[in-house]
């Protein structure tokens, strides 16, 4: 598996960030946003194994999991027309568009109902979107294309594959959800510099 140092630089920056004490969430998200923009500004680093789509399910390839579960980095690969159910995260997160485009619809809970929060937005390569329980944590994401695959890079403030969270139906009903990961092997970052 080949890669270059962009992912390692990003992981190092995230590690330094989660080690800093006393930062509020806004400061954390500002740094995550800036580093994610750098990471997805150039599309020359994602190992081909982490770009693979699946005809049935969108793929969540773990790129790096912090050994202390403070953050995780995932390559989301959408096959043509694939998308998520409405879901939350429970931790901060950033989505950086790397290849193709995806559409995101945000939701918020109003009383006992789930309502759309703004218009569906399209994320283009190089753009970044943020989520968190503070700034809005519920959304649905789909590949903007019915003909080709799309890839976005996600970072979360926890081990997202293992976090107990929820999917929502249109009426606001919830069911428990643990996403897991599509792969079982992470890339060897220590060989890339
Ligand atoms: Fe999400």
For 141-151, the pLDDT digits (tens) are 999 999 999 99
CB 86, CB 166: distance < 8 Å: no
How far, in Å, from the CA of 5 to the mean position of ligand 1? 26
Report the separation in Å between the CA atom of 139 and the middle of ligand 1, taken as the mean of its atom positions. 6
Please say if the pLDDT value at position 189 is more than 80. no
Say how many Å lie between the CA of residue 89 and the centre of ligand 1: 6
pLDDT confidence of residue 188:
61
Q: How many Å lie between the centroid of ligand 1 and the Cα of residue 3? A: 25
For residue 193, what pLDDT is reported? 47
pLDDT given at position 123: 98
The pair of structure tokens assigned to 40 is: 């997805």
Distance of CA 112 to the CA centre of its chain: 27
SS3 11: helix
What is the pTM (predicted TM-score) of this model? 0.92
Mean pLDDT for the stretch of residues 115-133? 97
pLDDT per residue as tens digits for the range 157-167: 999 999 999 99
Q: How far is the CA of 21 from the centre of ligand 1 (A)?
A: 26
Distance in Å, CA 152 to ligand 1 centroid: 11
Structure tokens at 16: 């330094």
Cα–Cα distance between 181 and 135 in angstroms, integer? Answer: 25
104 C-alpha to center of ligand 1: Å? 9
Give the per-residue pLDDT at 191.
Answer: 56
For residue range 86-114, what is the model confidence (pLDDT) as tens digits?
999 999 999 999 999 999 999 998 888 89
* pLDDT of res. 154: 98
Assess whether pLDDT exceeds 80 at residue 171. Answer: no
- What is the homologous superfamily of the domain 3-182 according to CATH? Jelly Rolls (2.60.120.10)
Q: Extract the runs of DSSP E, i.e. beta strands, from the chain.
A: 59-65, 72-78, 86-87, 93-99, 102-110, 113-116, 121-123, 128-131, 138-143, 150-156, 165-168, 174-177
Contacts of 184 (CB under 8 A, 6+ apart): none
Query: How far, in Å, are 50, 97, 109 from residue 185 at the CA level?
Result: 10, 23, 36
Q: What is the pLDDT of residue 173?
A: 85
**Structure-token pair, residue 89:** 């995260």
88: which residues sit within 8 A by CB, 6+ positions away? Answer: 133, 137, 138, 165, 166, 168
* Predicted pLDDT of residue 5: 92
193 CA to centre of ligand 1 in angstroms: 31
Question: How far apart are the CA of 84 and the centre of ligand 1, in A?
Answer: 8
Sequence-ordered list of residues with C-beta below 8 angstroms from that of 6, at least 6 positions apart, any chain: 38, 39, 42, 44, 45
Report which of residues 67 and 34 the model is more confident about.
34
Residue 186: pLDDT band (50, 70, 90) is low
What pLDDT, on the 0 to 100 scale, is given for residue 184? 59
Whether 192 has a pLDDT exceeding 60, the answer reads no
Taking CB atoms within 8 Å and a gap of at least 24, the contacts of 186-189 are: 186/62, 186/63, 186/64, 186/65, 187/1, 187/3, 187/7, 187/47, 187/49, 187/50, 187/63, 187/64, 188/1, 189/3, 189/7, 189/8, 189/11, 189/64
């Amino acid at each position: 598996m080949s890669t270059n140092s962009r992912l390692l630089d990003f992981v190092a920056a995230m590690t330094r960030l989660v080690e800093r004490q006393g930062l509020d969430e806004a400061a954390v998200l500002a740094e995550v946003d800036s580093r994610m923009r750098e990471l997805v500004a150039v599309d020359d680093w994602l190992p081909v194994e982490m770009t693979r789509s699946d005809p049935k399910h969108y793929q969540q390839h773990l790129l790096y999991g912090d050994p202390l579960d403070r953050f995780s980095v995932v390559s989301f690969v959408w096959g043509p027309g694939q998308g998520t159910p409405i879901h939350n995260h429970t931790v901060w997160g950033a989505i950086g568009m790397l290849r193709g485009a995806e559409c995101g619809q945000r939701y918020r809970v109003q009383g006992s109902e789930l309502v759309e929060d703004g218009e569906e937005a399209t994320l283009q390569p190089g753009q970044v979107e943020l989520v968190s329980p503070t700034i809005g944590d519920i959304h649905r994401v789909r590949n903007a294309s019915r003909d080709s695959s799309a890839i976005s890079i996600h970072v979360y403030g926890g081990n997202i594959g293992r976090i107990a969270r929820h999917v929502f139906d249109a009426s606001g009903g919830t069911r428990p959800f643990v996403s897991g990961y599509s792969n079982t092997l992470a890339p060897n970052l220590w060989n890339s510099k």
